[in-house]
Amino acid sequence: MPLLGVDTGGTFTDFVLLTESDGQAPVLKVHKVLSTPKAPEQAILQGISELGLNELGSGENEKLIVVHGSTVATNAVLENKGVRTAYITNYGLRDLLSIGRQARRELYNLNPQPIQPPVPRDLCLETGGRLTSDGEELEALSDEELAVLKSTLEKLAPQAVAINLLFSWLDDQYEKRIAEIVPKSMFVSRSSAVLPEYREYERGITTWLNASVGPIVKSYLQRLCKALPQAKISVMQSAGGIIEAEQAGEQAVHLLLSGPAGGMAGVMHVGQLANEHRLLGFDMGGTSTDVSLVDGGLAGKKIELQLTTEGHIGPYPVGVPMVDIHTIGAGGGSVASVDGGGLLQVGPESAGADPGPACYGKGGTRPTVSDANLVLGRLRADAFLGGGMPLDETAARKAMATVARPMGLSLEAAAQGIIDVTNENMVRALRVMSVQRGLDPAELTLACFGGAGGLHVCALAELLGMQKALVPIHAGVLSALGMLVAPRARHLSRTLNLLLSAVDENDLNNEIKKLANQGRQALLKEGFAEKDISINPGVDVRYRGQSSVINLPWNNARQTAEDFHVKHETLYGHRLDLEIELVNLRVKVQGPRPAVSFSQIKDPESEPATRESFVQKAPLAGINEPVSIYARDSLTAGETISGPALITETVSTTFIAPGWNCVMDRYGSLRLSR
């Protein structure tokens, strides 16, 4: 049964197809097509057609299995294109989402631009049904109030409704009663179902996000499923687990970092194969760059995805678990310009897929990072996408002249300037995930992937003082590959707010069982056997009086206290003689990881004496002698290449800078050392 990973990016849509035959090693095939942002499913259908998968049968045992990373929810939020949504809360709290935490974006600006409220005030509705912080009824919810709410919703006619009552995570009866009177035509999100945790603002924003993009995601997935009757479609969630498309539409807020989660799953898998347990992930695509950390510690223990519950999408906090990444607007399509003061600026604006960089030959006229790499000779005009998409060097040089002339530079010098500025922007992002986390980059390995990443890997490592780098096999489509190795999973949580010393461990274990059963039932419906489902409980803890928390695995109260003191001292440099609070209980319910393996590359029986006769050479700007160009699929395990050199493949290009050596390992990854 074919297995297809699909990652929809801002510029390209990536495909990784895994096919298996009885008695033979699995075969991986990669593919890229330009994205179609206005209708993402069109690029997916194009890629599936070009891969020859349209004729598969529709029987349950013949279906194509598709795991999809989607940007539909992300784009809807960032572009403020969610559906018209009503927000229902308790009396006196209709302005909660507009007031927020009263954190100013520009601290010293005396005349800041007014911020558009998430929900217009006329769509913010108040009602009864208020609880105390102990879960006791403070204000009842009457039938009359429910009737008024129903009538008001019918008049306002929103497409979605978000319900967020105080302390509903303690008792959800009132939110459920309100949900029952909402007209069936409206999409409904309850905070007690989306995020049953304390902090009403973060819970409210997360619930509103789920409601406002839910109908868009649901409609998109329905169109995709209808267009692919021969496929069984699942979607990657922000926390790195897979969920069936039929369920994903109701949980749209869990898809906001769908693509980056696939990249982290991929780099973790490749890191384990390479026996690298401390990786600084760097995913440079056409529109943006995502930086992440995969850290198994100095002991090289089993590595897991780093998650956070304090992530943001645009200006909005998102309280559900998601991969811990830092994103900047720097990619191959980032546009360069000269500002009024004569300074070179690169990004965050991107040329995207249409018209794309000037070198794509689709009408783009402004210089981009990809144009700069082409002018410098690092990107080969005849080798892009395996030669399937020839690049227009004349158009790239013409675009480069628009920044070279104002600065009085040659085209090559201007192109190098664009690369240098871009590298500095990306290094700042890499420091956020390393230096600012108390980690020395020199102790980590830079794992570089994405279509544009391999062209910058050596320069970034040098700027950070790093000695090692890893360019995974199929690095240009690693996010799509990561979706094939990610497990089915659910993340559930509940706020407890108890002193750790006062926790009744029997009661806590009962709460764990309740949450675990919810996730277990969801995975059983997807066809998993009970014995294949694992349960991993965790807790958010803090010193009493603190506002931020640290997430730790749950064993028992004594062990958790010891682990917390050690972790706090590691992160902040000190420990305190204060009581510890257990704030949130979290349970991860997970199915088995798919058994996806790479064919191992055999060592050559002898040194390839005639290697040089098959190697092309070409001039590169800034390098005196012509540089060797190798096709990645011609390399053998253990073969060493010294920089400067270029290694080309269908989905990406890697530039080995002077002073660097490269060795291909048995799984096809390039291991770089300085």
Tens-place pLDDT, residues 35-74:
888 889 999 999 999 998 877 655 555 678 899 998 888 8
Q: Please tell me the distance from the alpha carbon of residue 303 to that of residue 284, in angstroms, as a whole number.
A: 22
Work out the pLDDT band at 401, boundaries 50, 70, 90. Answer: very high
Q: Is residue 300 scored above 50 in pLDDT?
A: no
pLDDT value of residue 61:
55
pLDDT mean over 361-380? 93
Please tell me the predicted confidence (pLDDT) of residue 592: 86
CB–CB of 586/537 below 8 Å?
yes
Confidence at 613, pLDDT banded by 50, 70, 90? very low
Average pLDDT, stretch 545-549? 91
Q: Are 460 and 439 in contact (CB under 8 A)?
A: no
Domain assignments of the chain as residue spans, ordered by start = 3-77+219-255, 79-217, 489-590, 611-673
Q: For residue 567, give Cα distances in angstroms to 367, 444, 553.
A: 46, 19, 12
- Indicate whether 605 pLDDT > 60: no
Q: Which helix (H) or strand (E) holds 232?
A: strand 231-236
Is the confidence at residue 303, as pLDDT, over 90?
no
Nearest CA-CA partner of 261 in 432, 43, 431, 485: 485
At 606, is the pLDDT very low, low, confident or very high (cuts 50, 70, 90)? very low
Q: Rounded to whole angstroms, how far apart are CA atoms 258 and 266?
A: 13
In a 13 Å sphere around the CA of 367, the CA atoms on its Cβ side amount to 31
- What long-range pairs does 165-168 form, CB within 8 A, spacing at least 24? 165/88, 165/89, 165/90, 165/129, 165/130, 165/131, 165/191, 166/89, 166/90, 166/93, 166/130, 166/131, 166/200, 167/131, 167/132, 167/133, 167/135, 168/131, 168/192, 168/196
Rounded percentage of the chain residues whose pLDDT exceeds 70: 94
Consecutive H or E run containing 227: helix 200-227
Q: Residue 59's pLDDT is what?
A: 55
Q: Is the pLDDT of residue 297 over 80?
A: no
Q: How far apart are the first and last CA of the chain?
A: 42
Question: Could you tell me if 517 and 524 are in contact, meaning their C-beta atoms sit under 8 angstroms apart?
Answer: no
Write the single-letter amino acid at 234.
S
Strands of the 445-449 sheet, one edge to the other: 325-328, 289-295, 278-284, 445-449, 468-471, 670-673, 661-664, 640-642
Number of neighbours of residue 114 by Cβ within 10 angstroms: 5
Would you say residue 110 has pLDDT above 90?
A: no
Q: Which CATH number fits domain 3-77+219-255: 3.30.700.30, 3.30.70.890, 3.30.420.40, 3.40.50.2020?
A: 3.30.420.40
Mean pLDDT for 2-18 is 88
Q: Reply yes or no on whether the pLDDT at 365 is more than 70.
A: yes
Average pLDDT on 460-478 reads 93
Residues in CB range of 355: below 8 A, 6 or more apart:
362, 363, 364
| Alpha-carbon distances, residue 30 vs 25, 36, 63, 66 (angstroms) | 16, 19, 19, 14
Report pLDDT for 402: 95
Q: What mean pLDDT do residues 73-81 have?
A: 85
> pLDDT tens, 486-519?
998 999 999 999 999 999 999 999 999 999 999 9
Q: Is the dihedral of CA 149, 153, 158, 159 positive or negative?
A: positive
Which residue's entry shows tokens 């097509």?
33
At residue 137, the 3 state secondary structure works out as strand
Which tens digit of pLDDT belongs to each residue from 196-243? 999 999 999 999 999 999 999 999 999 999 999 888 999 999 999 999
Look at residue 494 in the predicted model and tell me its pLDDT: 93
Whether the predicted pLDDT of 25 surpasses 70: no
Tokens standing for 125? Answer: 């509705």
Mention the CATH class of domain 79-217.
alpha beta
Mean of per-residue pLDDT scores for the chain? 89
User: Above 80 in pLDDT, residue 305?
Assistant: no
> Which residues, listed in sequence order, are joined to residue 344 by a DSSP beta bridge?
338
Q: Is 392 helix (H, G, I), strand (E, B) or coil?
A: coil
Pick the most confident of 126-130, 265-269, 604-608: 126-130
